[in-house]
Structure 1
Amino acid sequence: MKLPRGTFDVLPGTVERWQYIENQLREISKRYNYKEIRTPIFEETELFKRGVGETTDIVQKEMFMLEKRGKEQFTLRPEGTAAVVRSFVTNKLYGAANQPVKLFYIGPMFRYERPQAGRFRQLHQYGVEALGSEEPAIDAEVISLAMSIYRSFGLKKLKLVINSLGDSESRAAHREALVNHFKPVAHELCQDCQNRLEVNPLRVLDCKVDRNHPSMATAPSILDFLNPASKEYFDQVLLHLDALGIEYVIDPTLVRGLDYYNHTSFEIMSEAEGFGAITTLCGGGRYNGLVEQIGGPATPGIGFGIGIERLLMALENEGVLPEIDDAIDVFIVAQGNDEVEKTATRLLQLMRLEGLAADRDYLGRKFKGQFKAADRLKARFTVILGDEEVERGAAALKDMSTGEQIDVPLSAVADTIVAKLKEEVQ
């Protein structure tokens, strides 16, 4: 049996890095008062068509749709926002006492695309959604949270790119200008862009195939079509970012790949040398109107998504991925009669109940082989049990870093190790 293309196993020795990242993400989310939400891995297909947008590459090309049963059709979630907003509506969180509702999620997403460095068919994503506020300050907070995450891991070579897509009035005016601009050269663009020009011309600017076409460089800027209200909103977001000391670059071509964005749109990129051609680490923006599309009351929202795989790549690239300590506290080295075996079993359980990370040999190895196993596991201490030790009710406790060995009553082994470990911390 083969591993499915575009997926990977996270094995012991590597999974600890994932746990480190997930723990850090949860800790920072708590500081910003975002609460965890967990949604199903699959949802009704219509949710993503309506929420993500039927003209997006995700819906048209990349969704993993499950086998249809009767009239129902389900899809493995390709992104997190639509599912979180669906849950927000389903569970009537818009009526919660604490507003805005600030949520975060961590979990797998699924996209049928060509696997490449940092991009997989099963990917893992952390994201936040703040629902219920249309204050520019919450936009800045969400961006600040994303930047704080990367900084907390020690990343330094980052660039924040930001844009405004404006409100519906601004977008309509920009849409008309885009159509007029691209129509004369439409026959030179890819088939996808020709289709987008009819249904969602803004997404032409996001095309990877035609990004070097001369018409892209001269396309009308959304910033020239912002009405006064949209311009004021964008200015206020930038004002708050300035107050937070967050540097940014305004890029009028940044549109993001999903249909639900309006007003603030942003990406965080790696500028580290050798990171690769795809530099985007995080993307997000405001999506006023999405809640209504999914059947809820008018509710503004903003959020972002961070790819865990790409975060790991960035940490490795900048050399700031910490060494994970996976050593155990104690290993029992035991050899002898049945009473020795029973004593080792009882002592192992007692040490684990005392909070120690402990293990023993289960392969019937001799003393020498068991000590080698203790070394491989980087055991801080070994407890040595033989017929003689058990008969006199004691064990030999060996400090594996110094080689010092002392006799300890069996009843005091766990307490002695706990005390020694505490002394080392102090």
Structure 2
Amino acid sequence: MKYLFILLLAALGVAAPARAMPFVEVNLQVAPATHSFTCRYRFTLPASDTTSVVRLNLNSHFKLQPVQATQNAQSRITSVQYAGYPHQQIQVRFGPNPRRSRSIELVYTGSISENNYTDQAALFSAHSEWLPFRPYQEYEVLPYQLTVQVPPAYQVRSTPQPDKQKAGRWTFSGTTSAIEFTALVAQQFYQAVSVAGPPITLVKAGVPLTQTDSVTLRQAEVITAFYNRTIGRQDPITRFTILMPGNNSGAYGLLDNATVITYSDFDVARTNELLILAHEISHKWWGYGSFHDETDWLNEAFATYSSLLYLQASGDEAGYQKELDRLAQTTPGTPPLWGFDRYKYEYPMHRRVMYNKGTGILHALRTRIGTEQFLTLLAQSAAKKTSTTVEFLQLVEQIAGPETRGWLLAELKR
């Protein structure tokens, strides 16, 4: 009967109902003076999800209270090594599913590491390692609600605007990857909003905005407009947030239309930092591969080459060629991208293969099929949220033909 129902929907041109995603509710209480926090994390499976065992990994430095779960579920906690670091793994086994939603609630306390705070701000985000996640599913896309409680003198910013706020309590909601729920906490924020195109908000914690920040915001407008005409034309940016906490621990893009730029002296007048900004903005589209296998090239090579496309389009042909040459010099002697096992190598090799070699392959693909067809390929891949190399190869065959698919596969195996 279910099969007949789906056939009927197809015949009528109606899509079959999509499987509901888990929902996450987080209540974060922050004590900025001590950089400590208490988190209440609730993970709910919808009634349509028949999963009987759920595993969640949590930073081993945090103190976990007894696990709470619905429907008399059984839970146990073990210590595991994950991606080279110690974690506590919470396993919850549910009984037979009577078509009801099931929840797991974790309450834990801890402190964020020193590279995630300054005298002015505390950052809870993707690189803060403060959230649980299902093993090998850090980038599982989840709807969420995040409530942050802080002392009355403090404020909170996140990737979206708050749904609700009052003194000491801020609530945000959205959909993003499992580890990317973000809260930036400070006593004082300074911000500016773009004047052209989709609204881009630049938020700086604790320190007033400078002329350099204004240039960064204007450059973000131009980059976003370029991407919306090219790689993002089927799924354009409609809003974007740039968070600048000043803790000098790198830069990273977030799926929820945002990026975190932590450098206190960030200046897009320097080409390498302009490329960082363009790279991280493009992660709005390139973030569905896995960090743990070859599909990370769908995140990092695609973001790297997107930034180079922007650099070239801005008129800096010499800078484009110089950066391509620099990356190419790092790839001789590297293993094939296809089937790359990052855990057999030190991290620098991961970068040489996933970022640098992958970028060279994309450049060669563009040279082979032409810029117009290449941009069509990227736009469709971005809109489809391509997450595997096989999916990308299938798209290449649809757009550029089977010979190009075979050529690309050979390059990936080279």
> TM-score, structure 2 length as denominator?
0.23
Q: Indicate the structure whose relative CO is greater, using CA pairs within 8 Å and at least 6 residues apart.
A: 1
The structure richer in helix per residue is 1
The structure richer in strand per residue is 2
